[in-house]
A and B are shown apart, each in its own frame.
Chain A
Amino acid sequence: MTEYEHRDGNALGGLLLEAFGREMTDADACCGNCHRVNQIGGMLLYQSGPGDVLRCPNCATVVMVATARPDGTRFYFAQLTWMQPRN
């Protein structure tokens, strides 16, 4: 894993839109480790392995993982205390 390969949660916008039916990159999300709140679009996205891995920009904890399955996308909320989409 190189230091500069990650992108932003922004890039997951299409996948999240498909799964949740609404814009999700501006949803607030609270890291289960450090409890900092950031917008999904501002989290760090790693796509080097199987699945899309979203990490907290403050403490680098894996917050969420999305994996493609034959029957749809499965989201693992690894360390996500809460998430609040915007009205």
Chain B
Amino acid sequence: MARATVLGRLNWLSAEVVADRRETPRVRSLVLDCPGWPGHLPGQHVDIRLTAEDGYQAQRSYSIATPADGTRVTLTVEHVPDGEVSPYLVDEAVIGDRFELRGPIGGYFVWRPDDGGPLLLIAGGSGIAPLMAMLRARRRLHEGVRARLLMSARSSDDLIYAAELNELAATDPGVEVVQTLTRSQPEGWTGYSRRVDREMLAEVAWPEAEHAHTYVCGPTEFVEAVANSLVALGYDPRSIRTERFGPSGGS
């Protein structure tokens, strides 16, 4: 990596909200324009810093939900009750707002498309965001890579990117999308209806011999359960890349 790029990432950049989309009642995507943005890899995150009028600062990390696109960065943020940053991003920020951002950050929970596949992506709630960046990057340039996504949400109203994922699954034979709804299911639901467990993973995950590139993202309890089940199924612990939010949403 060029030294100038590395140094550039140390600086806080000014990000401007240029578009937004309500994904679910508690989740919103924000498209930010960040002059000076050096580009990024699927799975990387940014730090966001908000400064109050009295000088108080709050800082949080958010995954990037889109592949590199010039100076544009899209974040998908879930409202964390009592959070210091997410309530602003989800319910208050308007087009034209500016705040500070630095990144891209991360070399561990990253899919380098040249690494190939198959991909096994497992998301709990808004943990779908960095995995969506991988699927979108794959669709743009690397459709030969097979991918399976298992996503868990409370109800159908909480399924983030639902329309885009339905369209992807219907039109791209290389992508399988499996969903489980843990609290309530609409009439005629054909997906799973329970928390992700070992039996579900045995049905959905690639056989261990495929040496899948595996990424698990979500609340800590979810990630722990999934990673432990995959290891029980024979996956090498070091082949499973994890991103834990902590006890509730966020990251």
* Chain A residues with CB under 8 A of B247: 2, 4-5
- Indicate if A79 sits at the interface (CB-CB under 8 A): no
Given A10-B45, A14-B61, A17-B9, A4 and B219 touching (CB < 8 A)? yes
Interface size class of A (residues with CB under 8 A): 20 to 34
A5: min CB distance to chain B, Å: 5
Could you tell me how many residues of chain B have their Cβ less than 8 Å away from some Cβ of chain A?
Answer: 30
Cβ of A52 under 8 Å from chain B: no
B109 at the A interface (CB under 8 A): yes
Measured between alpha carbons, how far is A41 from B9 in the docked complex, in Å? 18
Q: Mark B34-58, 1 if CB is under 8 A from A, else 0.
A: 0000000000010100000000000
Known contacts A14-B61, A42-B241; A7/B106 CB under 8 A: no
Residue ID in chain B nearest A5 by CB atoms: B247
Q: Is B245 an interface residue (CB 8 A)?
A: yes
B244 within 8 A of A: yes
**Does B107 lie within 8 Å of A6, measured CB to CB?**
no
Report which of A6, A21, A23 forms a contact with B244, defined as CB distance below 8 A. Answer: A6
- A13 contact from B1, B7, B106, Cβ within 8 A: B106
Total contacts A to B, CB within 8 angstroms? 78
Which DSSP category, helix, strand, loop or mixed, fits chain B's interface?
A: mixed
Residues of A near B9 (CB, < 8 A) are 17
Question: How long is the Cα–Cα vector from A86 to B1 in the complex, in angstroms?
Answer: 11
Question: A9 and B108 in contact (CB under 8 A), knowing A14-B61, A42-B241?
Answer: yes
- What is the bound-complex CA distance between A40 and B109, given in angstroms? 11
- Is B243 interfacial (CB 8 A cutoff)? yes
Find the B residue at minimum CB distance from A11.
Answer: B61
Min CB–CB distance A68 → chain B (angstroms): 12
Task: Bits for A1-30, please: 1 = Cβ < 8 Å to B, else 0.
Answer: 011111111110110011001111110000
Min Cβ gap A28→B in Å is 10
Q: Is A61 an interface residue (CB 8 A)?
A: no
Interface residues of A in 11-66 (CB under 8 A from B): 11, 13-14, 17-18, 21-26, 38-42, 57
- Which of A18, A23, A40 is most buried by chain B, counting CB atoms within 10 A of its CB? A23
**Cα distance A18–B47 in the bound complex, in angstroms:** 12
Question: Are A21 and B109 interface neighbours, CB within 8 A?
Answer: no
In the bound complex, do residue A10 and residue B6 qualify as a contact, i.e. CB atoms below 8 Å apart?
no
User: Is B66 interfacial (CB 8 A cutoff)?
Assistant: no
- Which residues of chain B are near A57, meaning CB under 8 Å? 237
Check if A8 sits within 8 Å of B107, measured CB to CB. Answer: no
Q: Give Cα A39 to B241, complex, Å.
A: 10
A26 contacts B108, C-beta separation under 8 Å: yes
- Among residues of B, the one whose C-beta sits closest to the C-beta of A24 is B107
Is residue B179 within 8 Å, beta carbon to beta carbon, of the partner chain?
no
Chain B residues with CB under 8 Å of chain A are 1, 6-7, 9-10, 45, 47, 61, 102-103, 105-110, 219-221, 224, 237-238, 241-247, 251
A residues near B (Cβ < 8 Å) are 2-11, 13-14, 17-18, 21-26, 38-42, 57, 86
List 17 additional A-B contacts (Cβ < 8 Å) besides A4-B246, A5-B246.
A3-B221, A4-B247, A7-B244, A7-B245, A8-B108, A8-B243, A9-B108, A10-B243, A14-B102, A17-B9, A17-B10, A21-B10, A23-B1, A23-B6, A24-B107, A25-B109, A41-B108
